[in-house]
Amino acid sequence: MISIRSEREIQAMRKAGRITAQARALAGSMVAPGVTTHEIDTAVRRFIESHGAKPSFLGYAGYPGSACISVNDEVIHGIPGGRKLVEGDIVSIDVGAYIGGFHGDCAATYACGGISPQAQKLIDVTQQSFWRGIRMARKGCRISDIGHEIQKYVEENGFSVVRDYVGHGVGAKLHEPPEIRNYGPAGHGPRLVPGMTLAVEPMVNAGGWQVRVLPDGWTVKTLDGSLAAHYENTILITEGDPEILTVTEDGAYV
Ligand code: MF3
Ligand code: CO
């Protein structure tokens, strides 16, 4: 069952989304040579807690961080630690915040200093694929229309879409139905209805789509060692254009 949020619940989700987007922006602003992923994680936790919210990921299925920080060929779920970022790294940061009974969930990939043109293209295509996909996040469209658009755009640009992990409904729980694939044929799955809140999150590899999980049980890497990028926002289905809930007060989406 896909939840339809009331106006009061949507207001609460806007608040959770704003804090989550601000935490993402803070984390992204810290990406620089010499900074450890642990330092970024600590700043994210402090920021979220100082706003009266809880980091959604901390303790989720035993996850030890407040942010997932995935560098270069790490796709998602990288565990923060002592790794020092170096110039040329691309750094995917995924954050969630829970307040007033609702979660926000968002991610973006950031450049550490100067990066290769290929890495910059990967980041840009991944972000753009999200915006392409949510052109279909409209009343009456089907869930699979979103992923179909994402896959088309990503593959036109010579990259591939991860199959093993998907977007999801988000709200009172971090992961709710429906599953939102970033690939596959259009015209399948439930029809979108105003009041649905969804986390749309393309994960894009520069090489093949296959991934593997490291022995730490969390970190997902590309199988072929190619670079990966991630971009995610929590969105609201409306009577018209989708509303991005994970946006800062200044209107920033990264
Ligand atoms: N943002 C991730 C997602 O969208 C959640 C991270 S998994 C966690 O599914 F365990 F770290 F929370
Ligand atoms: Co998510």
Distance 175 CA to ligand 1 centre (A): 8
Please state the pTM of the whole predicted model: 0.98
How big is the CA angle at 12 (ends 145 and 68), to the nearest 5 degrees?
65
Token pair for residue 231? Answer: 């971009």
| Binding-site residues, ligand 1, Cβ < 6 A | 57, 60-61, 63, 68, 77, 94, 96, 105, 199, 201
8-state DSSP, 55:
E
Question: What integer pLDDT is reported at residue 70 of this predicted model?
Answer: 99
Q: Taking all residues of the chain, what is their mean pLDDT, rounded to a whole number? A: 98
Distance 75 CA to ligand 2 centre (A): 13
- From the CB of residue 129, how many other CB atoms can be counted at a distance below 10 Å? 28
CB atoms within 10 A of CB 241: 12
Residues with Cβ < 8 Å from 62, sequence gap 6 or more? none
What is the residue with the minimal CA distance to atom 12 of ligand 1? 57
Q: Look at residue 144 in the predicted model and tell me its pLDDT.
A: 98
Token reading at 13: 């989700």
- Give me the phi and psi of 234, to 5 degrees please: -90, 125
Q: What SS3 class is residue 233?
A: strand
What domains does the chain contain, in order, with CATH numbers? 7-244 (3.90.230.10)
Give residue 86's pLDDT. Answer: 98
The distance in angstroms from the start CA to the end CA of the chain is 31
As given in the structure block, the two tokens for residue 38 are 């642990």
Ligand 1 centroid, distance to 92 Cα (angstroms): 12
pLDDT tens sequence across 107-159: 999 999 999 999 999 999 999 999 999 999 999 999 999 999 999 999 999 99
How far apart are the C-alpha atoms of 242 and 238, rounded to whole Å? 6
- Looking at residue 138, its pLDDT comes to 98
Atom of ligand 1 nearest to the CA of 201: 4
